[in-house]
């Protein structure tokens, strides 16, 4: 059983607990520290998006359709569906000769509450372009168009657009992805499972990609640069991914559904991967902050700036602080980096 990594405290007593696993590896894939079962299978979900965008660049589609840095960031995103996201997505689709109707993610309201309420007030409703994964789908549609593959069914497991990134993930992780469990993700694309440690290792090539000129390294450098330059497009207002990148000089951070995070420190040369067992982002965000602080990848000041995610206070309906979500004592016993 994985250790308790996060506690929800009220009145000085523990009310709830989150168990999970965390692993940090260096550029060579060597484990620097770990908590819990790092060989357990996890579904990285949307935290894989930076890897899934690599084929879009390697294929040449990025040049053929003049994909911008903002569009690359959106392709990596689990976005809020805010105006800034639509201002990038819709012109991109139009330029490639595509329409939102061709996106195979299901219709959705924006993740951002205020934006969602605005859509409804103005007579709108759920739409494919508003789905948080519409940027990834736009990237895959763009690649299918470039390769001359069928646009209909591009989200299916056996479509070349999907087979491409899964083969790539096999190379990066050292795990034969085609032998691993899978089913459809929330947006309709294949979601594959792999060990947490292998998931972390898959992101290690991002660290030194800027030092090489081969096609894959160039693609990874472009992706990291796009996410770092446009963190608001990767998530949005009041989102942990966006804030973590904005409050750091070098972190590349991506959330995945069901309590998963990947974080890459490009300067320190460290990858952090984690999974909150119960799937709640509440626990996963605190685990992320604790791991980054333990590794020295965020300063004490930076940690405090991220307190809304890394050590959030619990407020009642009267807006009184009645508790907090915080790292458990397990973190205190770890040797410091």
pLDDT for 335 equals 72
Domain residue limits, the chain: 4-333
pLDDT for 191 equals 98
How far is 90 from 162, CA to CA, in rounded Å? Answer: 23
pLDDT for 334 equals 78
263 beta partners: 253, 272
Residues of the chain short of pLDDT 50, as ranges, are: none
Residues 92/64, Cβ–Cβ less than 8 Å: no
**What is the 8-class DSSP label of residue 210?**
G
Q: Is the pTM of this model over 0.85?
A: yes
Q: May I ask the CATH architecture of the domain 4-333?
A: 3-Layer(aba) Sandwich (3.40)
Q: Where are the beta strands (DSSP E) in 74-181?
A: none
Residues 270/52, Cβ–Cβ less than 8 Å: no
Largest CA distance in the chain: 61
Placement of tokens 């799937």 in the chain: 279
């Amino acid at each position: 059983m994985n250790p308790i990594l996060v506690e929800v405290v009220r009145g000085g007593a523990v009310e709830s607990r989150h168990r999970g696993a965390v692993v940090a590896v260096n550029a060579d894939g060597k484990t620097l520290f770990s908590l819990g079962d790092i060989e357990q299978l996890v579904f990285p979900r949307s935290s894989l998006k930076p890897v899934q965008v690599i084929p879009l660049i390697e294929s040449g589609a990025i040049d053929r359709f003049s994909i911008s840095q903002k569009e690359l960031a959106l392709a990596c995103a689990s976005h809020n569906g805010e105006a800034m996201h639509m201002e990038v997505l819709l012109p991109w689709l139009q330029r490639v000769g595509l329409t939102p109707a061709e996106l195979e993610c299901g219709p959705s309201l924006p993740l951002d509450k205020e934006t969602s309420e605005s859509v409804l007030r103005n007579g709108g409703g759920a739409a494919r372009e508003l789905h948080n994964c519409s940027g990834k789908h736009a990237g895959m549609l763009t690649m299918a168009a470039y390769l001359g593959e069928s646009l209909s069914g591009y989200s299916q497991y056996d479509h070349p657009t999907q087979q491409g990134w899964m083969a790539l993930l096999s190379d990066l992780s050292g795990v034969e992805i085609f032998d691993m469990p899978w089913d459809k993700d929330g947006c309709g694309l294949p979601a594959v499972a792999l060990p947490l440690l292998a998931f972390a290792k898959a992101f290690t090539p991002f660290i030194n990609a800027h030092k090489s000129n081969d096609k894959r390294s160039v693609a990874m450098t472009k992706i990291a640069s796009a996410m770092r330059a446009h963190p608001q497009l990767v998530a949005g207002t009041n989102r942990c991914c966006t804030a973590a990148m904005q409050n750091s000089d070098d972190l590349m951070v991506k959330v995945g559904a069901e309590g998963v995070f990947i974080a890459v420190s490009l300067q320190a040369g460290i990858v952090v991967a984690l999974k909150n067992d119960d799937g709640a982002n509440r626990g996963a965000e605190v685990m992320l902050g604790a791991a980054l602080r333990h590794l020295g990848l965020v300063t004490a000041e930076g940690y405090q700036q991220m307190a809304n995610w890394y050590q959030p206070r619990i407020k009642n309906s009267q807006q009184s602080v009645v508790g907090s979500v915080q790292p458990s004592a397990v973190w205190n016993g770890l040797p410091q980096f």
